[in-house]
């Protein structure tokens, strides 16, 4: 009986020892996970841009990245993932592991692409961090274009449907919607202007200068260098007020009596499921960059619009934009 009792005691000791080892291991893993999050970031971060280098989104992203890495103590590397009218880059952000090491500067197109059937992604597939930029569209033509006013351009579109081409992004993206909405508001079939796909405003503007297209409806800041160089001119801005850096450019209301407005927005976001402590850390870093004098001077110098929204405000902003743009795209025949 004594031997049997001793054996049972040994068995129980082995069982308890195994349980103790498992508990210690689990605790160690848990602490390691907590330590990893609390020490975030401890390696470089990738900031995905869904549009090409040289455009407005790319410029804003690179400025934010340079300021954020000073605060975070790790490199923030910008990666341009173009293609599919913004689908490729936005998928790269949404599909990343939610650990805070892949984030993106997502754009207004996330509120449009799913309406066209290009992707199933919506704003709900992201962890919103901060809304940082807002730029109204303009109507750009070559400096030597025969169109001196927007009214003259619209008159020619009506007279020669299908003969005039425009570009600035992929089909159904923001700048395409901007032009389609303008034409629709003027009682013109949006298909009257042929849309030529491009990877963003920068290559689109080069195509404009080369004579491949006649219109690029991008933001004025994106066209600024070519406007300053005397190669491009802007006929109007799709906003309720004139731009402070382009005060000679009329609003649509002034040019053709149209109340139509459109502006591109940009915001930092991570994949859905980003841990709150990491999202909060990123939000603090982005706000520090946004509030810095260096960022303000850069945005003012380039003519980019500034708008701030924290995580909750950014989420609400995207939800409203999604609903509003869905209505517009249905009206101009750009939904599936």
- pLDDT per residue as tens digits for the range 166-186: 999 888 888 999 999 999 999
Please give the mean pLDDT across all residues of the chain: 90
- Confidence at 38, pLDDT banded by 50, 70, 90: low
**Distance, CA of 326 to CA of 181 (rounded, Å):** 12
Q: Check residue 171 and give its pLDDT.
A: 84
**Distance, CA of 183 to CA of 189 (rounded, Å):** 7
- pLDDT tens digits, residue range 124-167? 999 999 999 999 999 999 999 999 999 999 999 999 999 999 99
Give yes or no for a contact between 99 and 42, defined as CB atoms under 8 angstroms apart.
no
Average pLDDT (249-254) is 97
Q: Let me know if 5 is exposed, middle or buried by CB neighbors in 10 A (0-12, 13-18, 19+).
A: exposed
Structure tokens at 26: 């689990």
Give yes or no for a contact between 277 and 285, defined as CB atoms under 8 angstroms apart.
no
- Judged by average pLDDT, the poorest of 16-20, 32-36, 290-294, 313-317 is 32-36
DSSP single-letter state for residue 305: -
Q: Check residue 28 and give its pLDDT.
A: 46
Q: Check residue 25 and give its pLDDT.
A: 46
Q: CB neighbours (10 Å) of residue 164?
A: 17
Classify strands 76-80 and 45-49 as parallel, antiparallel or unpaired. Answer: parallel
**Distance, CA of 140 to CA of 90 (rounded, Å):** 27
Residue with tokens 């449009």: 112
Residue with tokens 């609400």: 316
Percent with pLDDT over 90 in the chain: 76
**Distance, CA of 180 to CA of 235 (rounded, Å):** 16
Average pLDDT (46-75) is 95
DSSP string, 244-291: SS-TTSPBHHHHHS-----EEEEEEEEETT--HHHHHHHHHHHHHHHH
């Amino acid at each position: 009986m004594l031997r049997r009792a001793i054996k049972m005691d040994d068995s129980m000791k082995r069982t308890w020892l195994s349980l103790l080892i498992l508990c210690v291991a689990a605790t160690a893993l848990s602490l390691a996970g907590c330590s990893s999050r609390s020490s975030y970031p401890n390696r470089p971060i990738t900031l995905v841009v869904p549009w090409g280098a040289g455009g407005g989104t790319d410029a804003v992203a690179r400025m934010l990245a340079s300021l954020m890495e000073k605060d975070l103590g790790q490199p923030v590397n910008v990666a341009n993932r173009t293609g599919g009218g913004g689908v490729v880059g936005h998928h790269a952000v949404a599909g990343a592991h939610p650990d805070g090491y892949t984030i993106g500067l997502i754009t207004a197109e996330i509120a449009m692409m799913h309406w066209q059937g290009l992707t199933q992604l919506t704003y709900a597939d992201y962890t919103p961090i901060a809304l940082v930029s807002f730029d109204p569209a303009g109507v750009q033509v070559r400096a030597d274009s025969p169109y001196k006013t927007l009214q003259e351009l619209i008159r020619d579109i009506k007279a020669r449907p299908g003969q005039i081409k425009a570009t600035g992004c992929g089909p159904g993206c923001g700048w395409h919607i901007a032009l389609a909405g303008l034409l629709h508001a003027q009682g013109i079939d949006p298909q009257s202007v042929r849309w030529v796909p491009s990877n963003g405003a920068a290559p689109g503007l080069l195509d404009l200068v080369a004579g491949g297209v006649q219109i690029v409806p991008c933001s004025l800041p994106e066209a600024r260098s070519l406007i300053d160089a005397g190669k491009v001119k802007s006929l109007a801005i799709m906003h309720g007020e004139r731009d402070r850096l382009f005060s000679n450019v009329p609003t649509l209301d002034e040019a053709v009596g149209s109340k139509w407005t459109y502006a591109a927005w940009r915001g930092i976001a991570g994949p859905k499921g980003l841990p709150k402590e990491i999202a909060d850390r990123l939000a603090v870093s982005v706000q520090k960059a946004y509030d810095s004098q260096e960022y303000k001077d850069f945005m003012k110098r380039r003519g980019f619009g500034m708008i701030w929204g924290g995580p909750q405000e950014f989420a609400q902003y995207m939800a409203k934009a999604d609903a509003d743009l869905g209505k517009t795209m249905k009206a101009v025949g750009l939904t599936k």
